[in-house]
Amino acid sequence: MLLTSGCSFVWGDELDGFDNNPPTHQHLTFTHLLAEKMGMPYVNQGLCGSCNERIFRDLITYLSDPTKTKPTHMVVMWSAWQRDEVAEPMSESREEQLCLNRPHGFTQFSSERTQNLSNYNRTTRARRELLSQYYDTCYDSRTAIMDGITRMKTIQLLADSLGIKLIQGVFHNRAWNNILATLKETDIPQYNKLLLDSISSLHKTSRVGIGRYKDLYTLTEELGDIKPFGHPGEKTQVVFADMLETIFKEEF
């Protein structure tokens, strides 16, 4: 069984039929195409707007549930380091207005998406204002990057211990560029060493878009297959599925 997880690039946002009710685009996703190539069922945990905390939590929840079918193969495309989440109340009408997916009451947000947070009452309105100030004065992407790489190491360790063939990486070349940018800073040499050591500890197959292989967005650019809101098109899904199948065959 194939288990995949990630954000909108994994869910298949903007593919033909994504906005039907219910969506009818699943057969166009790389998850479906890859599972079909390998002759196995699949579960796609991709969800639009997801931060890495949500991706990590859902993976752990699935893998620790004895009632779930244990995957033999996993593909995890981690989201932007800068995304975060908070558990908060929100009306269904606002969820619908903002087109938010909020499993278990968590709102996914980032420095550019603090407007996604609830303005339900004085407390939640104050939170929005404080988080905007936090991003302006306190936020450092190095913390988020290190947290993200640590999650990747954890999933790799878990997959190795469970005998799961794992491919993981980042969905967008910005994530790798963010890493390279922080490594150019010299004010925290201990961070640079820890980050480089952590990346080096990842298997080759756990570094898609992180100095190895091509990420989904890079393929999208090369193929000229970018949808109006920046998501990969149908052609990219086919090429990425082919790439993943080759990695599974050659590396495991």
DSSP structure string for 154-170: HHHHHHHHHT-EEEEEE
Question: What is the span of the domain harbouring residue 124?
Answer: 87-137
What CATH number has the domain bearing residue 59? 3.40.50.1110
148 in the same domain as 104: no
pLDDT of residue 136: 87
- Tallying the residues shown for the chain, one arrives at 252
Chain position carrying tokens 């390998």: 38
pLDDT of residue 112: 85
201 in the same domain as 95: no
Task: Tell me what percent of the chain is helix, strand and coil, each rounded to the nearest 5.
Answer: 50, 10, 35
Please say if the pLDDT value at position 61 is more than 80. yes
Distance CA 183, CA 69 (A): 40
Is the whole model's pTM more than 0.85, yes or no? Answer: yes
Task: Tokens for 176, please give them.
Answer: 């790798």
Count structural domains, the chain.
Answer: 2
**Cβ neighbours of residue 127 closer than 8 Å, sequence gap 6 or more:** 86, 88, 117, 118
pLDDT of residue 129: 85
31 in the same domain as 155: yes
34 in the same domain as 92: no
208 in the same domain as 194: yes
91 in the same domain as 61: no
45 in the same domain as 21: yes
Please say if the pLDDT value at position 45 is more than 90. yes
